[in-house]
Amino acid sequence: MLMLLKWTNRIVTGVLFILLIGVTILVIPAKITGEQPEIFGYQLKSVLSGSMEPSIQTGSLIAIKSVKGEKIPHIQEGDVITFIGEENNLITHRISDIALTDSSTVYTTKGDNNNATDSAPVLAENVVGLYSGLTIPYAGYVINFVQSPNGYILFMVIPGLFMVGYAVFTIWRTLRELDDRTKHFVDNAE
């Protein structure tokens, strides 16, 4: 039984440590540069509207291949892109037409569930990413909750307090065992 507790302790500690390192590697550089976190050139985005249903459900988390600042000749009509909209919000819609101008490429986009194309054309420099086809249903709701004040407390502060409490408990237990061994050694020496 004691061996099982030791292995469980090691596994929990290892998992928490790996999660801490992973979050640090992803989030801190993104916060410093002001960019979105990327994993191997992909960003995760929450879909908050039903404009792309049934292709992409509301509340899904999607992976997009980041293309910000790149020439993007590989984007074609029918591809789904994420772009910066008129109000600096991110929109994910399908390209319905591509027009080349002297200075740029302009995309006409439309949500699969919308009746008409978007009113404003999308300049190539406003394209953030190309939808990779990876969708995780309902995970977008979780991400949005985590980014809210209540979610931040639930997913960052409480686990942080748990880790600190666990560390204090482990140190206390080790000191107690050391004290017991010292008492046992002193009692046997007399």
- pLDDT of 142-175, one tens digit each? 777 877 778 777 777 777 788 788 888 888 888 8
Q: E-assigned strands of 3-143?
A: 42-46, 61-66, 80-84, 90-100, 105-110, 122-123, 127-136
Q: Select which of 46, 49, 51, 104 is catalytic.
A: 49
Architecture of domain 41-137: Ribbon (2.10)
Mean pLDDT for each 10-residue chunk of the chain (190 residues)?
Answer: 77 78 65 66 86 90 80 79 89 92 88 92 89 87 78 74 84 85 68
Query: Is 49 an active-site residue?
Result: yes
Whether the model pTM is above 0.85: no
Q: How many CB atoms lie under 10 A from the CB of residue 43?
A: 21
Distance from C-alpha of 77 to C-alpha of 96, rounded to nearest angstrom: 6
